[in-house]
């Protein structure tokens, strides 16, 4: 039997966001990051609480910028799991 129950960190992120969040990864401090494309926001779960960061209110203008910011400050233990565009994937495949 398959379950659709969220883990505790995802439940915390769901409480802070409008849509079901997408798991981005776990930073070097062990905090999971979740993305909501509708709100254009990231929730970082730390010590049982979720901190919401709307990208428009940060120096990061894109999700890629956010991921690079985290990489430079804390690093990533898992992820980030952020897909690129189909055009970008094709261009990388042609260059390879």
Q: What is the pLDDT of residue 5?
A: 66
Please tell me the pTM assigned to this model. Answer: 0.80
CA pair distance 95, 93, nearest whole angstrom: 5
The greatest distance separating any two alpha carbons of the chain, rounded to the nearest whole angstrom, comes to 44
Q: Where are the domains of the chain?
A: 8-95
> pLDDT tens digits, residue range 24-83?
999 999 999 999 999 999 999 999 999 999 999 999 999 999 999 999 999 999 988 876
**Cβ contacts of 69 within 8 Å, gap of 6 or more:** 58, 59, 60
């Amino acid at each position: 039997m398959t379950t659709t129950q969220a883990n505790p960190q995802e439940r915390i992120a769901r409480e802070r966001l409008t849509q079901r969040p997408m798991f981005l990864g776990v930073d070097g401090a062990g905090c999971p990051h979740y993305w909501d494309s509708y709100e254009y926001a990231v929730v970082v779960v730390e010590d049982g609480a979720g901190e919401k960061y709307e990208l428009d209110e940060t120096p990061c203008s894109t999700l890629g910028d956010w991921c690079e910011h985290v990489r430079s400050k804390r690093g990533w233990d898992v992820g980030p799991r952020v897909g690129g565009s189909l055009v970008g994937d094709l261009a990388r495949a042609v260059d390879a």
